[in-house]
Structure 1
């Protein structure tokens, strides 16, 4: 009889323990599930709130992604179909531009901050194919696909459209390092640009000749987003209406020469051609040169030919560290006399 009681008692204890375990497991599982749900909710909440409070258009999304980790600064370049189509020996201006980032010193990571602004679907598709930050500019009513030869009506229109786009980017609070795609990046310019936070704008020039005035070049410049620079770009763009036949660079030069920069209290640094070089005035020191711009050149085939030589010169320098002279820019020099040149439509 005692044996029977002990067995019954043991059985009852076992059953009680079993149900207690089931209840504990059920409660624990529910608690863990709730905890994970809370974590997921907390993780997703900031993104949802941000989306509601700060609705993004396509441009804002591209700019935010490109500026990440770069002090809210984006590198911007403009491309159209003419810059992504093969010329001569199967090279494109865009390919040459991007190759310089691969061959430059400390430049490859900067591709993460580059935004290619396409004026047509062909250029946009090529940008997407290369997995870059891409944005398709709205250019309703204007054909900006083919090559726009220097100072043609279409060239001037494209430059003004570019100015308006940059004004939009500044108004969103992003600092801009703008570069033409006929600029080769041989070293990271951020280490060469002044870190002085009071500088509103740093802009390239065609020649180092302070006495003759700064002949600015809008193919490469850094501009901080603030009230002064926004006022400058707004005035600059508005002046297109009273400047028929003038390209945007000449209008900006006029604003500089007539003292408008001073009226705004702009602090400007003019980049010397020793570090920020171009075909108008070659850098004499490959040991410090940062960018090379195919300025003083009329059309794309000449630019591609002579910039290819520049890249070859740079590769030789990287191998030998012997400073030599740059190859002559014969094609660009002769482009001004090439009256028979007809750009592809």
Structure 2
């Protein structure tokens, strides 16, 4: 779960309120005054409204979290949306994408180019350093817990993930949580798989709500670990078993990374630039990657079905 704090992407100071002043039909608090009067209840009402508009028939939404640096024109957000437009059976999924903006500038940019945007008001604090990075990650978990509590399933995706094929058919019917993996040992049920929290599908029920609350609470038990490290600990500590919670891991053949060795355009669904530090490097390599995808999809169908067609990157990312 990448909150975009890296060398080329400095943290953006965020204040209480601070929302855009324009009217907002799709979500987010439109004014400081409204946010002050309504507080958390008003935010929850706005979240409910945007989720209701964006949901699929089975009450599933797609969620990504965005800040100012990644929302700039020509930055990561534009590439993210482009991947949906040029992917196979993915463009229609934009009708179900909710973009959670971490700051007013990201919110305004989202409203210009996407239908469903929601502004999260974050308390004023110092957003420099590793502790603030982890704070924002756990704030995202709190938001996702609220989504579950409202009765919505969600597919969470980092914004530096390119969507090339509809991933839904790969999600387990039996599992309550289906999550990407950094290391996949060949068995989707094997807890030795190392989870990546930047892409996960979660069903809304009492089990997942309790697990997410436990995940957030575990920050106090493991104060020096981030949310992904904590997930990889608690998935095996017995609590998930007591909840009868089923977790499945996605095969890296279909849900891999930009720098992974098993690069096959005929099989991949999503590609994550999590190996790359620095927004400029990410943009450079993701642009090349999307060019390779366009070249691939322009080929005859018989040629596209052939295995082993790869992409040219990493280029700049391999330096990180």
Contact 2:258 2:313 in 1 (8 A): no
Change (3 A) 1:127 1:327: same
Structure 1 CA distance for aligned equivalents of residues 286 and 233 of structure 2: 30
CA deviation string 1:119-152 (max 9, x = no partner)? 10000001111132010012112366xxx8xx83
Contiguous gaps of at least 5 residues in structure 1: 1-54, 336-345
Structure with max Cα Rg: 1
Q: Distance in 2 between matches of 1:177 and 1:278?
A: 18
Please tell me whether the aligned partners of residues 184 and 249 of structure 2 are also in contact (alpha carbons under 8 angstroms).
no
Write out per-residue CA displacement over residues 145-178 of structure 1, whole angstroms, 9 at most, x where no aligned residue: xxx8xx8333212111101110111111100100
Moved more, 226-235 or 309-318: 309-318
Secondary structure in 2 matching 1:330: coil
- How far is 1:218 from its partner? 0.5
CA shift at 1:212, angstroms?
Answer: 9.1
Q: Is the counterpart of residue 201 in structure 1 residue 177 in structure 2?
A: yes
1:79–1:116 Cα contact (<8 Å) kept? yes
User: 2:165 aligns to what?
Assistant: 187
Residue of structure 2 equivalent to 1:247? 226
Is 1:166 matched up with 2:144? Answer: yes
CA deviations on 1:295-335 (whole Å, 9 max, x unpaired) are 22222222111111211111111012265222131322212
* Residue 305 of structure 2 is aligned to residue 326 of structure 1: no
Q: Matches of 1:212 and 1:260 in 2, distance apart?
A: 13
| Cα distance change on mapping 1:290 and 1:99 into 2, 3 Å | same
Indicate conservation of the 8 Å contact 1:310/1:326, yes or no: yes
Whole-angstrom distance in 2 between the partners of 1:116 and 1:212: 31
SS in 2 for 1:217: strand
Tell me the TM-score normalised to structure 2 length.
0.79
Matched position secondary structure for 2:220? helix
Secondary structure at the aligned position of 1:105 is classed as coil
Q: 1:282 to 1:162 in 2, by over 3 A?
A: farther
| Bigger fraction of residues in helix | 1
2:50 to 46, 62, 69: 62
Instruction: Return the match for 2:58 from 67, 71, 78.
Output: 71
SS of residue matched to 2:156: strand
Is 1:154 the counterpart of 2:137 in the alignment?
no
- Counterpart of 2:16 in structure 1 is none
Structure 2 residues not aligned, in runs of 5+: 1-41
Q: Could you tell me which residue of structure 2 aligns to residue 81 of structure 1?
A: 68
SS in 2 for 1:272: coil
Bigger RCO of structures 1 and 2 (CA < 8 A, at least 6 apart): 2
Q: Aligned pair count?
A: 269
What residue number does 1:44 align with? none
Is structure 2 residue 200 aligned with structure 1 residue 217?
no
The answer for the alignment partner of 2:288 in structure 1 is 309
Counterpart contact for 1:232–1:261, Cα < 8 Å? yes
Partner of 1:290: 269
Shift, 1:244, TM fit = 2.1
How many angstroms apart in 2 are the aligned matches of 1:298 and 1:213?
A: 26
TM-score (norm 1): 0.73
Larger deviation: 173-182 or 199-208? 199-208
Partner of 1:18: none
Other-structure match for 2:90: 107
Deviation string 1:222-267 (CA, Å, 9 cap, x unpaired) is: 0000111011100001112232232111111110132332222111
CA distance in 2, matches of 1:111, 1:212: 32
